[in-house]
């Protein structure tokens, strides 16, 4: 009989220093941070004596990350917004898997760039690219990945009706690799999602935002649309 062992919950303890600067067209945020994750839950693979591979989730120890993140929003014109984010960090994992020490460490980084264009006709065009550099896992490494997405959004009926077309992985570059090492085994996995992926959506807003004079609802709506458009 197999039972579930009670474990302490995974807990993250972050510390950070933040600097912000804003002018008429630019907003910059720079952050220096350290994060410690205790009771880190991670996927664990093991090979049985009968050559059957077992995959599970286990508390393997502690993860640490120390790095910096820079975010910049630039508005070159009323019709054009640029948002860029870059993160550089030192990442390491310490713990035990099946009684054996785990001590993984690496330098890694990631970046994201988003361009948004607003036309007088109410059309909004977005192009977004991101890259995740190779990193480590508790038992191996993960390869880098890159994706480029784009979309067009058009509003009708005094901004009540919205039609959007999004295309993910336009250049079919999304490619993920994973290596795993353990007692008497080595595995290499490669994932290549199908692309490009097209999505068409329609939405209708019942609420009349014109009745709002403080602008809060408009800002909230634009923020939600931006997040939806990037996903």
- Give the integer Cα–Cα distance in Å for 44 and 46: 7
The answer, yes or no, to whether residue 184 has pLDDT greater than 70, is yes
The answer, yes or no, to whether residue 231 has pLDDT greater than 80, is no
Q: Please report the pLDDT score of residue 44 as a whole number.
A: 93
Q: Where exactly are the structural domains of the chain?
A: 11-230
Top pLDDT among 208 and 110 is at 110
The answer, yes or no, to whether residue 213 has pLDDT greater than 50, is no
Q: Please report the pLDDT score of residue 9 as a whole number.
A: 84
- Give the integer Cα–Cα distance in Å for 225 and 167: 16
- Matching residue, tokens 């602008």: 215
Each residue's pLDDT tens digit, 123-167: 999 999 999 999 999 999 999 999 999 999 998 888 889 999 999
Each residue's pLDDT tens digit, 5-49: 456 788 888 999 999 999 999 999 999 999 999 999 999 999 988
Q: Write the CATH number of the domain with boundaries 11-230.
A: 2.40.160
Torsion 211-216-219-223 (CA) sign: negative
What's the predicted TM-score (pTM) here?
A: 0.80
């Amino acid at each position: 009989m197999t039972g579930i062992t009670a474990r302490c919950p995974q807990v993250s303890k972050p510390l950070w220093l933040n600097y912000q600067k804003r002018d008429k067209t630019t907003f910059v945020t720079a952050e220096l941070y350290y994060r410690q994750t205790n009771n880190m839950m991670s996927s664990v693979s093991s090979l049985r004596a009968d050559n059957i591979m077992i995959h599970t989730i286990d508390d393997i120890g502690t993860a640490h990350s120390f790095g910096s993140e820079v975010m910049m929003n630039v508005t070159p014109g009323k019709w054009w917004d640029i948002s860029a984010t870059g993160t550089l960090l030192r990442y390491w994992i310490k713990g035990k898997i099946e009684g054996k020490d785990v001590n993984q460490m690496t330098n890694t980084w990631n970046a994201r760039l988003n361009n948004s264009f607003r036309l007088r006709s109410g059309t909004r065009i977005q192009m977004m690219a991101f890259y995740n550099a190779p990193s480590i896992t508790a038992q191996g490494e993960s390869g880098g990945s890159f994706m480029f997405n784009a979309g067009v959004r058009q509003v009708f009926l005094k901004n009540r009706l919205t039609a959007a077309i999004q295309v993910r992985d336009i250049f079919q570059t999304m490619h993920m690799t994973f290596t795993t090492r353990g007692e008497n085994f080595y595995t290499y996995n490669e994932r290549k999602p199908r692309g490009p992926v097209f999505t068409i959506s329609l939405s209708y807003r019942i609420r009349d935002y014109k009745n709002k004079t403080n602008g809060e609802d408009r800002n909230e709506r634009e923020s939600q649309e931006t997040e939806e458009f990037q996903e």
